Amino acid sequence: MSDTCSPGSQGDKSSHVVYEATYDPAGDVELGTEILLALDSIRGCDVDHGDPVVFEAIDLDALNELFKPVAGSNRNGSVTFTVDEYAVTATAAGEIRITDRPTQP
């Protein structure tokens, strides 16, 4: 997995990418695990201590099934869900993007 982390500006009303990564859908690590590791790398998220917010936001097993490789099939699509102040997007192409959600006016 390759990743980039950059903090977003707190005063801006638009969202900023705070994490981008690419994972291998055919690899040994499932998408849900990659997302948990990504959230853990962002300051303020603590998935090691069983933070239930992620599990309330999305069923990671269902997400793994949705995007797991199937022989003879080229899956596409994306899923976006929110965890605390972050929007998490995962794609069938193996992209993970986490943005801070825009502040309300």
Is the confidence at residue 11, as pLDDT, over 70? no
Euclidean distance between CA atoms 40 and 46, whole angstroms: 6
Q: Tell me the per-residue pLDDT of 30-53, one tens digit each, with 9 for 90 and over.
A: 999 999 889 888 866 666 665 567
User: In this predicted structure, what is the pLDDT of residue 45?
Assistant: 64
DSSP string of 42-69, one letter each residue: STT--GGGT-HHHHHH--HHHHHHHHS-
Name the more confident of 101 and 103: 101
The domain limits of the chain are 2-100
Q: What's 6's DSSP letter?
A: -
What pTM was estimated for this model as a whole? 0.76
